[in-house]
Structure 1
Amino acid sequence: MQIESKKVNVKRSAQDLCSYLSDVKNFEELMPENISKFEVLSEKSFVFALKGMPEIGLEVKEVEAPEKVVLGAISDKIPFQLTANINEIDEGNSEAELIFNGDFNPMMAMMIKGPITKFLETLTTNLEKLQ
């Protein structure tokens, strides 16, 4: 299952945005308001939970500066990746798109597609607000 966010303009250079997304502490700033837990586990990993949802652990799997940051699930129970594709527009602006890729059975995919789509929309909206 693949879900793509809208592309948003961010008032940061591609390198700045890549560095920002590579630092897991910064994801707390991007999370939805209904977050019930956010905890940095290590320099490369964190866990979060939204109200009414199970905890999800993510870790930085790959960084191809300045155009890509790949986060992946810590647990094999729910295998997925969240990829941020970054394109430089000019010195102080870039374009970002988030892509969710998960390997789910059809029933699970149907249940989580809506919440994941909404989650990606929130992350990209908050990225757009970065200064």
Structure 2
Amino acid sequence: MTVIESITEINLPVEKVYTFLADLNNHQQLMPENIYNWSSTEDTASFTIQNMAKLAIAITNRIPNEELIAVPTEKAPFDLELKWTVADNGQGGTTAKHIISADLNMMMKMLAAGPLQKLADHQTGKLKEVLV
């Protein structure tokens, strides 16, 4: 399993960050420009990644003010888990971590690991930007 992580610090309480992340409608704001055909509800999202694939995800696990896990609801090119964790940083703010776990063979890892890291970093950067 390939695990890709990106972390950011946000100057808002954990509850506010979690509430934003808990609604997949908000995640469109975190996506890079190569994501289109976005459609979402609070618990599901589907979108197309330019020159790659169409993906549909659903939140499968919620631990209030701690963790959210989303997985594909349709056949994806590889097994995938998208996780957000939030924790108090001890200064009234939040440490938010985006973890992408993907079951990649060596060839897929060479092709996909870089773009997945870029996606995770983009999403944490946008989260910090949006939640000001």
Aligned residues: 129
Aligned counterpart, 1:67: 66
Structure 2 gap segments, 5+ residues each? none
Question: Does the 8 Å CA contact 1:59/1:72 hold for their aligned counterparts?
Answer: yes
Q: Percent identity?
A: 24
The alignment's C-alpha RMSD in Å is: 1.6
Structure 1 gap segments, 5+ residues each? none
Instruction: Give the letter for the 1:128 counterpart.
Output: K
User: Any idea what the Cα deviations from partners look like across 1:52-80, whole Å, max 9, x if unmatched?
Assistant: 22111111111111111111111244321
C-alpha distance in structure 2 between counterparts of 1:92 and 1:31, whole Å: 27
Q: Where do 4+ consecutive residues of structure 1 move more than 3 Å?
A: none
User: Any idea what the Cα deviations from partners look like across 1:91-113, whole Å, max 9, x if unmatched?
Assistant: 85211111111112221122111
Matches within 5 A, 1:52-91: 52-77=51-76, 78-89=78-89
Matches within 5 A, 1:105-124: 105-124=105-124
Task: Provide TM-score, normalisation by structure 1.
Answer: 0.89
Aligned counterpart, 1:12: 12
Task: Provide TM-score, normalisation by structure 2.
Answer: 0.88
C-alpha distance in structure 2 between counterparts of 1:16 and 1:76, whole Å: 32
Aligned counterpart, 2:4: 3
- Give the Å deviation of 1:51: 2.1
